[in-house]
Chains A and B, each alone.
Chain A
Amino acid sequence: AQKVTQAQTEISVVEKEDVTLDCVYETRDTTYYLFWYKQPPSGELVFLIRRNSFDEQNEISGRYSWNFQKSTSSFNFTITASQVVDSAVYFCALSVSDYKLSFGAGTTVTVRA
């Protein structure tokens, strides 16, 4: 069975601070996909990134960066120089051969002005 753990329930930062969201996953499959989604107060799920298990390269997209480490089964997400608009719930998710997603419990990020 697949499992995604987001140990941080809530994180509160002041604008311009960096914030790192932890994600640890469990699976016996050798081929899998990892995702991050943002869910703002309006409720929709906004896709941020997808990584397959064979691609351990870190990625940077603007103020967002991701650190994928298979050795520790982690796929952490960092927001650099956070802004108020980054306030949302962030979900890490895992998909294996059946392609349905198993989500973590989510981390609520609050960025204060």
Chain B
Amino acid sequence: AAGVIQSPRHLIKEKRETATLKCYPIPRHDTVYWYQQGPGQDPQFLISFYEKMQSDKGSIPDRFSAQQFSDYHSELNMSSLELGDSALYFCASSIRDRVEKLFFGSGTQLSVL
């Protein structure tokens, strides 16, 4: 069965650079969630989208932005990268109001040097 696809799997950037992470949800899933997991930390909710509209927002820095496209894939754009942005970024997808359909991708490991 198709799963949530995240790309790239690993990303290395320098301070002050920009990064774009991509998430391809499971087919027919209309909701996407982004989570950030710092080293030794638990995943923290960043932002979510339903039907291409932002549905909820967590502790996402102003330097980050995200969107969901017409094909339901989502991109997380991160600018002016800081060392503290180094983390594992997870995307999850679901069918709205169906939490039993929530699935996580394998994550993108971002390292900022």
Binding site for B on A (CB under 8 A): 33, 37, 43-45, 47, 50, 91, 95, 98-106
B71 at the interface (CB under 8 A from A): no
B26-62 near A? 1/0 per residue, CB < 8 Å:
0000010101000001111100100000001010000
Contact A104 B42, CB 8 Å, known A95-B99, A99-B97, A99-B99: yes
B33–A44 contact, CB under 8 A? no
Bound together, the chains give a CA A91 to CA B107 distance in angstroms of: 16
**Majority DSSP secondary structure for residues of B touching A:** strand
Question: In this complex, which of B41, B45, B99, B106 has the most chain A Cβ atoms within 10 angstroms of its Cβ?
Answer: B99
**Which B residues between 76 and 102 are near A, CB-CB below 8 angstroms?**
88, 90, 92, 94, 96-97, 99-100, 102
Which residue of chain A has its CB nearest to the CB of B106?
A44
Which residue of chain A has its CB nearest to the CB of B45?
A100
Name the A residues within 8 Å of B97 (CB-CB).
99
Bound together, the chains give a CA A63 to CA B46 distance in angstroms of: 34
B42–A50 contact, CB under 8 A? no
Contact A43 B107, CB 8 Å, known A99-B94, A99-B97, A100-B48: yes
B42–A45 contact, CB under 8 A? no
